[in-house]
Amino acid sequence: MGRVLTYEEKDTWMHRLCGVTKFVFFLLWSMTSMMTYDTRILLVMVVLSIILYRTSRTRWRQVGAVFKFILLFLTINLIAIFFFSPGQGTKIYGTDTPLFHVVGPYVMNAEQLFYEFNVFLKYMTVVPAVFIFIVTTNPSEFAASLNRVGISYKFGYAFAIALRYIPDVQDDFRTIRNAQEARGIEMSKKAKLSSRIKNMAAIIFPLVFSSMDRIDVVSNAMELRGFGKNKKRTWYMARELKPLDYTVIIVTALASAVALFITYHDGNRFYNPFV
């Protein structure tokens, strides 16, 4: 599975930030981009996120495959929006300026084009933020830091275990699939839908049951070592919040507040260039 985002160690100011800081940034950022439909704000956010992406020194080979997939998905989605509701733009912006005829009863108007452009921007603001967060954050450090900001260490552990076992479970999946294919099970498109479901079960069952065994083994091991006895625990990978972390958090919070104020101050979250 080459098309996966993973952490890569580098030495930039972004890599040195505490995982929690980047998480707060990511949450505030994606929340702001979810709430706003103000084109000016979205444009500023896209430019900013591209600049941030550049300073994180992320290489194209780390994210390229995923990015192409997102573009493909986004294109399908935008086309689907048009064919399901070609009047959505008019409904939002209140005017109707026909541009060109597409097919049958479908006519593209300026409002629709602008609305879909906004949808596109909305996705594009979040994508670099996710890339930066995953590529620059050490998962163990992040799980450890979660506890620092007051989240129960049990949850931090569940999170750490999840990240730790994703590659293992993927390996198991591949091993089981290869074994089943060697036994003559067809997993490609050539098989019928019903038999593909049945064949899928032949992989899922061993995978889930071996994972249930794994849950027993791991929880017994943790019990033997006295996990959960004390209210607090120490972490090897934890990081202190440094002045730079506080600066980033404060700046992000202020920026989102300003962005939301600009978006909502006229009582409407859409920026309307048509009136």
Partner 1 sequence: MKFGIKEVVAAGIGTALFVALTQVQIPLGFIPNTALQPRAALLVFISAVFGPIVGGIVGFLGHALGDAFFYGSVWWSWVVPEAVVGILVGIFANKFAIKEGGFSGKNIVFFNVIQVIGNALAWILCAPILDIVIYAEPANKVFLQGIWAFIGNIIIAGVLGSILAYAYSEISGKSSSLEKED
**What part of residues 131-190 is at the interface with partner 1 (CB under 8 A)?**
131, 133-134, 154-155, 157-166, 168-170, 173
Half-sphere exposure of 254 (CA within 13 A, CB side): 6
Is 212 a binder of partner 1 (CB under 8 A)?
A: yes
Residues between 49 and 108 with contacts to partner 1, criterion CB under 8 A: 63, 66-67, 69-70, 73, 76-77, 80-81, 84-85, 88, 92
Cβ distance to partner 1 smaller for residue 14 or 63 = 63
Whole-angstrom Cα distance, residue 81 to residue 253?
32
The reply to whether 114 sits near partner 1 by the rule CB under 8 A is no
In 3D space, the residue among 137, 143, 164 whose CA is nearest the CA of residue 233 turns out to be: 143
Q: Which of 202, 217, 30, 53 is nearest to 128 (CA)?
A: 53
> CA-to-CA distance for 83 and 116, rounded, in angstroms?
12
CB of 213 to partner 1, least distance (A): 10
| Interface pick for partner 1 out of 138, 196, 202, 274 (rule CB under 8 A) | 196
Residues numbered 242-271 forming contacts with partner 1, rule: CB under 8 A: 270
- Minimum separation from the CB atom of position 249 to partner 1 (A): 20
Kindly tell me which residue out of 107, 108, 130, 202 binds partner 1, with binding defined by CB under 8 A: 130
- Please state the closest distance from residue 24 (CB atom) to partner 1, in A: 15
Number of other CB atoms surrounding residue 268 within 10 Å: 12
Q: How far apart are CA 24 and CA 112, in angstroms?
A: 34
Which one of residues 28, 127, 144, 248 is an interface residue with partner 1 (CB under 8 A)? 127
Per-residue interface string for the shown chain with partner 1, residues 3-32, x marking contact by CB under 8 A: xxxx-----------------------x--
Q: Which of 12, 13, 16, 34 binds partner 1 (CB under 8 A)?
A: 34
Taking contact as CB under 8 A, which single stretch among the options 8-16, 200-208, 237-245, 256-264 is the one that binds partner 1? Answer: 200-208
Pairing of strands 98-103, 106-109: antiparallel
- Going by C-alpha positions, the residue among 123, 132, 139 that lies closest to residue 69 is 123
> Please, are residues 108 and 99 in contact by the beta-carbon 8 Å criterion?
yes
Question: Which residue type, as a one-letter code, is found at position 108?
Answer: M
Are residues 21 and 251 in contact, defined by beta-carbon separation less than 8 angstroms?
no
Q: Is 272 in the site for partner 1 (CB under 8 A)?
A: no
